[in-house]
A and B are shown apart, each in its own frame.
Chain A
């Protein structure tokens, strides 16, 4: 279980990027984080990944506090961030240097096959298309068998077809080992297709605005009326989150506290 307890982050320049963010995410859950630009979504993810320290509150995974990158937590960035001097296979095996070489090779081959790039093992990253490169970065994270996988707008740079393809792909991969997924996105469609729960954030300071549970059976039909309804609910919440005068429903009793601060 991933627990965030009143996590806050104030950058050195005084920007209050995240404030009192609390959520509990059970193992195997898929959570989508959605919100306007600059409302602290990346800040949140980087704190969970241990790349940045939260200035307030605590992040724990199965009771263990996360203050630095954790072996059970993987992250996929918006850009593939492949190492250009390593072949595709070596990029995927980057985190496996402690694994015996026979096993490493087997795991790399399996991961390559899973993302459908078995024929690209020896290619250089520069020879890949954007979608292929992002698939390699997904494989690089999954080959570590993380318990929690964080994704920061992983498909936002891709065209609509490729994005849809990779969303389905991600779900396939998820269903094999069922890690916890925390996915930041700008795309309401993507959030509703993938997530069990959608967290809507609001900016200045970045905080949780609303949680919306998505009770749709998988695989989800993007054209079903229920899907549409859920999408509309997320959209409405998103609209209200950007409206400065709307009250904070998720903050509840804490609103009084927040004013006091």
Chain B
């Protein structure tokens, strides 16, 4: 019986299987690079030909040269480490607080009615508005910077965790109930795995905000860090240094995001979601 139903589907298969996907997989990112690369090369040529002095918009070679110079002097590493440490600490704190409070609000209705209105009200405040207060409370050094980043990371994680718990399918929770799972077992065996995909997304959003807020934090007076390189470049009129810092921000942001994705992957193999390009292993 299964055979008779399957056969007509199989006959359509040969039509849809050319060898295209392999090179298309490389084509797609290459296509995305086409525009920026063309622009970069064009600008390089324009400056090289002397049509522009490239003082305010330095050509790519100058940016690469600046990065290389900073790297050689060991300064770049110092700035990267300073920024990474701030993002790491702020992200860690924000994630911890967001996860714990989000889980409490999602799990207990009473806690949600008690906590959530306040947290939502705080969320409506633009986080940068806290800066003066944080500086007064925590001083102008590391503590206030880490606090600002943590605040930025906290809200998406809190919302993500709470929303994920609230939207766990009742039908699947009932399966747990029919097998008479205890409270902790229900959390470990049903809620945690059900919440994980949304949690990973909220971590990635939180990390993105962490990178955004580290720049704001380093603008408020830092002696090292990539944000300091930006300010320094502006004050001393070194656009190449600004662009170099921006490029490194982009690389670090993308890499850390990819690390989260990579770490979560083994736990999410079961997902049956729309994910283009996941077809081939």
A84 touches B272 (CB 8 A): yes
CB distance from A238 to the nearest CB of B (A): 28
- Smallest CB–CB gap between A229 and chain B, Å? 29
Chain B positions within 8 Å of A144 at CB level: 179
Alpha-carbon distance between A165 and B4 when the two chains are bound, in angstroms: 14
Complex interface: chain B residues within 8 A of A83 (CB): 172, 175, 190, 193
Which residues of A have CB within 8 Å of B172?
81, 83
Which of B180, B185, B196 is A69 in contact with, Cβ under 8 Å?
B180
B265 interface residue, CB < 8 Å from A? no
Within 8 A of B (CB), among A152-168: 161-162, 165
Is A71 a contact of B270 with CB atoms below 8 Å? Answer: no
Q: Is the CB of B1 within 8 A of A69?
A: no
Q: Which secondary structure dominates chain B's binding surface?
A: helix
The answer to whether B178 touches A74, judged by C-beta atoms less than 8 angstroms apart, is: yes
Known A51-B177, A74-B178, A77-B171: A85·B270 in contact at CB below 8 Å: yes
- Does A79 lie at the interface of the complex (its beta carbon under 8 Å from any beta carbon of B)? yes
Residue A249 is within 8 A (CB to CB) of chain B in the complex: no
Which A residues touch B177, using CB under 8 A? 51, 69
**Given the contacts A84-B270, A85-B193, A79 and B171 also touching, CB distance less than 8 Å:** yes
Q: What is the minimal beta-carbon distance from A88 to any residue of chain B, in angstroms?
A: 11
CB-CB < 8 A to B271: which residues of A? 84
Closest Cβ–Cβ distance, residue A130 to chain B (whole Å): 11
A81 touches which of B5, B171, B180 (Cβ 8 Å): B171
Q: In the bound complex, how far is the Cα of B5 from the Cα of A83, in angstroms?
A: 27
Q: Which residues of A contact B193 (CB under 8 A)?
A: 83, 85
Would B1 and A49 count as touching, CB distance under 8 A? no
Q: Which residues of B contact A86 (CB under 8 A)?
A: 270
Contacts of B269 in A (CB 8 A): 124
Q: How far is the CB of B271 from chain A (nearest CB, A)?
A: 7
In the bound complex, do residue A126 and residue B272 qualify as a contact, i.e. CB atoms below 8 Å apart? Answer: yes
**Residue numbers in A under 8 Å from B196 (CB-CB):** 85
How far is the CB of B243 from the nearest CB of chain A, in Å?
44
Asked if A126 contacts B270 (CB within 8 A), the reply is yes
Closest to B193 in A: A85
Over the window 44-65 of chain A, the binary record of Cβ atoms lying under 8 Å from chain B Cβ atoms (1 yes, 0 no) is 0000010100000000000000
Q: Does any Cβ of A come within 8 Å of B174's Cβ?
A: yes
Give the residues from 211 to 230 in chain A that come closer than 8 angstroms, CB to CB, to chain B. Answer: none
| Besides the known contacts A51-B174, A86-B270, A161-B1, 18 further A-B residue pairs in the complex with CB atoms under 8 A apart | A69-B177, A69-B178, A69-B180, A74-B178, A83-B175, A83-B193, A84-B272, A85-B193, A85-B196, A94-B175, A94-B179, A94-B189, A95-B179, A124-B270, A126-B270, A126-B272, A162-B1, A165-B1
The 5 closest A-B pairs by CB, nearest first: A126-B272, A85-B193, A95-B179, A85-B270, A161-B1
A contact set with B: CB distance below 8 Å: 49, 51, 68-69, 71, 74-75, 77, 79, 81, 83-86, 94-95, 97, 124-126, 144, 161-162, 165
A sample of 29 inter-chain contacts (CB < 8 A) reads A49-B178, A51-B174, A51-B177, A68-B180, A69-B177, A69-B178, A69-B180, A74-B178, A75-B178, A77-B171, A77-B174, A79-B171, A81-B171, A81-B172, A81-B174, A81-B175, A83-B175, A83-B193, A84-B271, A84-B272, A85-B193, A85-B194, A85-B196, A85-B270, A95-B179, A124-B270, A126-B270, A144-B179, A161-B5
